[in-house]
């Protein structure tokens, strides 16, 4: 694709093989299968020494730029942001109020021959082929004992209970008459065709209503849609619901009462502590609460290395604003999060910002400002993209839901002193994955180069590189190891650096190329004479001499710190 070759700093996704990247990750200790000696466990991954540093650098860059040193908002004021660190297991009522217990389900189908499992709504043709819009038409139907004239306005199929459908938003009259803005499905409605219609109820009175006009569509579609693995229709099972939350039990007895969940997102810990933060910090709307931490989803089909894992880490911001500020803050977060991923090395054509179509909305309410994904073109999604971070206007859905569910309701409205009014703040949520981010950094950094002994080097942004510099005594004698160790002891106070005395210098460079170390300093016989070292630049392979007393300042300038 032309766009892929337009930016030389970004390796086109098509030329990067995921197998090669996974092999390097394994060989060099970035990422391993969890419990590998027992054959692993599907959907769980461990980070080795290099991967741990890389992921930690990503999380620290995020924490630094978001919580400690955020910039200015659209109003020109410095952004107010605080951090929290909440538990993985919360009171189960949290997940009822948030909609996860009822709505966090995916319909899935199995291929009977290959035993592969898919999300039904990911299956091409599952819905598209059977969806249709009724042209407005007048028909008669018998409703109880009264003959009624019905005008069907629109039909739609409930495809996934975790999605709300906003089909009503264009028709204010219909919204008002139906008393709803969004239709949220429960799992049993998946695969049912709904109709919105206008009915003549006699004496010139009309009313809008919604009803189910056909059921079992998912089952019928599964019979008809060809399996992506066998290409044959009829090899898929009927879709079944699958709740993505891991269940556990708190206490000695395992029954309904002691049932609890591993959190499927970090966001709810933030919402539940919103009032604590307001009461104990000096924050005022607009302000944000940030959290990093583990989340767990019993994904139907974990795959694509760490991209879809069952245990993963999130980096989430809930930014609380006045309802009338939603648009400007939504645009601000959308653009600044996109710019941030660029700033840490995903600068090429492999990164894109995609606004959601209205139909794709998630299960929480959204009333206008928007939802977008920041996406990366992974080798396994190319030429398509996969989500790294979602930015969503969640309105006041979560705060209100928790206020109502805990029984305090409107009493928990935020008091805005400046305006002397009470309201539930709206929320803009930028929600990113630390593991998907790390994977994108690995894929982006992977740079084949036949001219090097390693055949490849990892071109990490220096800020993210797991090892910032390596120190090599050319030979393990003549006082060189001692000078190297002294330099190492000085540099390690500030940066992740390594000293390596083994093997030939070429092999040591090759190891550092695979680790993505931006600079190597070699102590050789000249060092003994003139106190200079050789600096080798990872990306250009250039070498230059530098006074040993200048090394620290050199790294500060190149890397910061």
* Contact status: 387 vs ligand ATP (CB under 6 A): yes
Give the C-alpha separation, 134 to 155, whole Å: 6
In the complex, the smallest distance separating the C-beta of residue 218 from ligand ATP, rounded to whole angstroms, is: 19
Does the footprint of ligand ATP cover residue 344 (CB under 6 A)?
A: no
For residues 473 and 267, give the distance between their C-alpha atoms in angstroms, rounded to a whole number: 49
Q: Which of 423, 514, 448, 494 is nearest to 54 (CA)?
A: 514
The yes or no reply on residue 296 touching ligand ATP (CB under 6 A) is no
Of 88 and 283, the one with the shorter C-beta distance to ligand ATP is 88
DSSP state of 89: B
Rule CB under 6 A: is residue 297 a binding residue for ligand ATP?
yes
**Phi, psi for residue 299 in degrees, rounded to 5:** -55, 140
CB of 122 to ligand ATP, least distance (A): 9
- How far apart CA 45 and CA 52 sit, in angstroms, is 12
Residues with Cβ within 8 Å of 49's Cβ and at least 6 positions away in sequence, in order, are 29, 466
389 near ligand ATP, rule: CB under 6 A: yes
The smaller minimum CB distance to ligand ATP, of residues 297 and 468, is found at 297
Q: How far is the CB of 387 from ligand ATP (least distance, A)?
A: 5
CB of 415 to ligand ATP, least distance (A): 31
Q: How far is the CB of 360 from ligand ATP (least distance, A)?
A: 9
Q: How far is the CB of 327 from ligand ATP (least distance, A)?
A: 21
**103 near ligand ATP, rule: CB under 6 A:** no
Q: Does 399 bind ligand ATP (CB under 6 A)?
A: no
Cβ distance to ligand ATP smaller for residue 308 or 468? 308
Question: Which residue of 16, 100, 263, 308 would you call a contact of ligand ATP, by CB under 6 A?
Answer: 308
The least CB distance from residue 362 to ligand ATP, in Å, is: 7
Phi, psi of 345 (to 5 degrees): 120, -5
Question: Which position among 312, 380, 460, 509 is part of the footprint of ligand ATP (CB under 6 A)?
Answer: 312
Query: To the nearest whole angstrom, how small is the minimum distance from the Cβ of residue 239 to ligand ATP?
Result: 17
Cβ density class 88-102: b for 16+ within 10 Å, e for less = bebebebbebbbbbb
Residue 309 found at the interface with ligand ATP (CB under 6 A): yes
Cα 374 to its chain centre, rounded Å, is 9
- Binding to ligand ATP by residue 390, rule CB under 6 A? yes
Residue 337 is a binding residue for ligand ATP (CB under 6 A): no
* Other residues' Cβ atoms within 10 Å of the Cβ of residue 356: 16
Q: Which residues pair with 75 in a beta bridge?
A: none
**Cβ atoms of residues 103 and 184 within 8 Å:** yes
**83 DSSP β-pair partners:** 290
Q: List the one residue out of 82, 80, 72 whose CA is nearest residue 328.
A: 72
Stretch that binds ligand ATP, among 1-9, 170-178, 213-221, 307-315 (CB under 6 A): 307-315
Is residue 427 a contact partner of residue 320, using CB atoms and an 8 Å limit? Answer: yes
Q: Check whether the bond before 112 is cis (ω within 30° of 0).
A: no
Cβ-closest position to ligand ATP: 433
What is the radius of gyration, based on Cα positions, of the chain? Answer: 28
Contact between 459 and ligand ATP by CB under 6 A: the answer reads no
Q: How many residues bind ligand ATP (CB under 6 A)?
A: 16
The site string for ligand ATP over 242-271 (x = CB under 6 A, - otherwise) reads: -----------------------x------
Report 408-447 residues binding ligand ATP (CB under 6 A). Answer: 431-433, 435-436
Distance CA 413, CA 403 (A): 8
What is the contact surface with ligand ATP in residues (CB under 6 A)?
Answer: 265, 297, 299, 308-309, 312, 314, 387-390, 431-433, 435-436
């Amino acid at each position: 694709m032309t766009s892929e070759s337009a930016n030389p700093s970004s390796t086109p996704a098509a030329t990067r093989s995921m197998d090669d990247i996974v092999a390097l990750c394994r060989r060099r200790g970035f990422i391993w299968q969890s419990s590998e000696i027992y054959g692993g466990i599907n959907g769980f991954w461990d980070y080795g020494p290099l991967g741990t540093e890389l992921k930690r650098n990503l999380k620290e860059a995020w924490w630094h730029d978001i919580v400690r040193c955020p910039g200015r908002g659209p109003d020109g004021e410095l952004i107010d942001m605080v951090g929290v660190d909440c538990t993985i297991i919360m009171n189960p009522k949290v997940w009822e109020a948030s909609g996860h217990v009822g709505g966090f389900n995916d319909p899935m189908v199995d291929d009977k021959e290959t035993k592969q499992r898919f999300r039904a709504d990911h299956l091409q043709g599952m819905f598209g082929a059977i969806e249709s819009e009724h042209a407005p038409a007048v028909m008669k139907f018998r409703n109880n004992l009264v003959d009624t004239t019905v005008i069907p306005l629109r039909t739609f199929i409930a495809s996934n209970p975790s999605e709300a459908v906003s089909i009503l938003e264009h028709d204010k009259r219909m919204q008002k008459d139906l008393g709803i803005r969004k239709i949220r499905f429960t799992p049993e409605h998946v695969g049912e065709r709904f109709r919105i219609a206008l009915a003549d109820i006699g004496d010139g009175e009309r009313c809008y209503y919604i009803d189910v006009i056909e059921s079992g569509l998912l089952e019928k579609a599964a019979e008809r849609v060809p399996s992506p693995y066998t290409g044959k229709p009829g090899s898929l099972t009927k879709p079944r619901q699958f709740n993505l939350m891991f269940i556990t039990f708190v206490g000695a007895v395992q029954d309904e009462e002691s049932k609890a969940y591993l959190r499927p997102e970090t966001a709810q810990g933030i919402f539940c502590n919103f009032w604590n933060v307001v009461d104990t910090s000096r924050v005022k709307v607009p302000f944000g609460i940030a959290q990093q931490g583990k989340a767990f989803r019993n994904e139907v089909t974990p795959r694509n290395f760490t991209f879809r894992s069952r245990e993963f880490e999130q980096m989430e911001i809930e930014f609380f604003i006045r309802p009338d500020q939603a648009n400007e803050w939504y645009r601000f977060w959308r653009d600044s999060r996109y710019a941030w991923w660029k700033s840490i090395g995903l600068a090429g054509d492999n990164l894109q910002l995609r606004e959601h179509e209205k139909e794709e909305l998630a299960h929480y309410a959204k009333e206008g400002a928007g939802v977008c994904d920041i996406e990366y073109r992974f080798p396994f999604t190319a030429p398509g993209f996969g989500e790294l971070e979602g930015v969503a206007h969640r309105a006041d859905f979560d705060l209100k839901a928790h206020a109502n569910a805990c029984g305090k309701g409107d009493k928990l409205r935020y008091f805005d002193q400046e305006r002397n009014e009470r309201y539930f703040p709206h929320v803009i949520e930028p929600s990113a994955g630390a593991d998907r981010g790390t994977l994108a950094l690995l894929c982006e950094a992977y740079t084949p180069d036949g001219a090097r002994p390693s055949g490849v080097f990892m071109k990490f942004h220096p800020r993210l590189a797991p090892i910032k510099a390596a120190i090599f005594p050319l030979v393990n004698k003549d006082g060189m190891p001692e000078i190297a160790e002294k330099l190492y002891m000085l540099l390690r106070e500030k940066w992740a650096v390594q000293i390596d005395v083994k093997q030939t210098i070429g092999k040591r460079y090759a190891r550092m190329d695979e680790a993505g170390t931006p600079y190597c300093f070699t102590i050789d016989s000249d060092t003994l004479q003139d106190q200079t070292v050789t600096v080798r630049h990872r990306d250009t392979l250039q070498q230059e001499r530098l006074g040993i007393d200048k090394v620290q300042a050199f790294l500060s300038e190149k890397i910061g710190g």
